[in-house]
Amino acid sequence: MLPDSISALISALSKLPGVGPRSAERIALHLVQTDSTLVKQLADSILLAREKIQFCTTCGALTEKSPCSICGDSRRDSFLICVVERAVDILSVEKSGTFRGKFHVLGGKISPLDGVEPEDLKISDLEKRLAHEPIKEIIIALGTDVEGDATSNYLAKRLARNGLKISRIGFGLPAGSGLEFADELTLNRALESRREMT
Ligand SMILES: [Zn+2]
């Protein structure tokens, strides 16, 4: 039997994404035997990052100040918005290196089976941006799974208005997956070969 404090640490670690019970145990046993200065640095950096990071009130990106550096960058194309599912997807698109517009994070995909309805996503925020920003094109960059398709079609219908082009990336993206699995070249081609929806 492990001491209570180690069991509690294992239990906390195993709630992290990608950390199974065995990894949690290995990490916990490592932490309790390693230099306490290093452990304190790790704990402090976790707390500091959690304290400092917030969601950009405009686009939903992870940022230390809101609006984020992308929203506040006047050199970026304000006519062009790339809609992504999660804040981390911004990193994938940024790594592709060619996109010079701005972003909007939906915060999920429509999935009635999981209880995610359109009103649970940041769609009305996007409509507000359409009313106040000079947006001419929306590029929908959601995954290629069933929910990604359904959400893209829903968005294309709901956001359709005069003078707004709505397109969706797709070409070359692995079927049924999210942006994080696409390499930079693939994502680049997918952006360039986006198909117009409306
Ligand atoms: Zn932002």
78-137 confidence digits (pLDDT tens): 999 999 999 999 999 998 888 999 999 999 999 989 999 999 999 999 999 999 999 999
Question: Other CB atoms closer than 10 Å to residue 40's CB: what's the count?
Answer: 10
What was the pLDDT predicted at 192?
A: 78
CA distance 189 to 187: 5
CA of 16 to the centre of ligand 1 (A): 26
Question: Could you tell me if 60 and 122 are in contact, meaning their C-beta atoms sit under 8 angstroms apart?
Answer: yes
What was the pLDDT predicted at 185?
A: 76
CA distance 46 to 55: 17
CA of 24 to the centre of ligand 1 (A): 34
CA of 78 to the centre of ligand 1 (A): 12
The distance in angstroms from the start CA to the end CA of the chain is 62
Confidence of residue 44 (pLDDT cuts 50, 70, 90): very high
What was the pLDDT predicted at 52?
A: 97
**pTM given for the model:** 0.81
Q: Which residues surround ligand 1, an ion (CB under 5 A)?
A: 56, 58-59, 61, 67-68, 71
Question: Could you tell me if 168 and 192 are in contact, meaning their C-beta atoms sit under 8 angstroms apart?
Answer: no
Indicate the burial class of 149 (C-beta count within 10 angstroms; 0-12, 13-18, 19 or more). Answer: middle
Residue 190, sorted as left (phi over 0), alpha (psi -120 to 50) or beta, turns out to be alpha
Average pLDDT, the chain: 92
What was the pLDDT predicted at 190?
A: 80
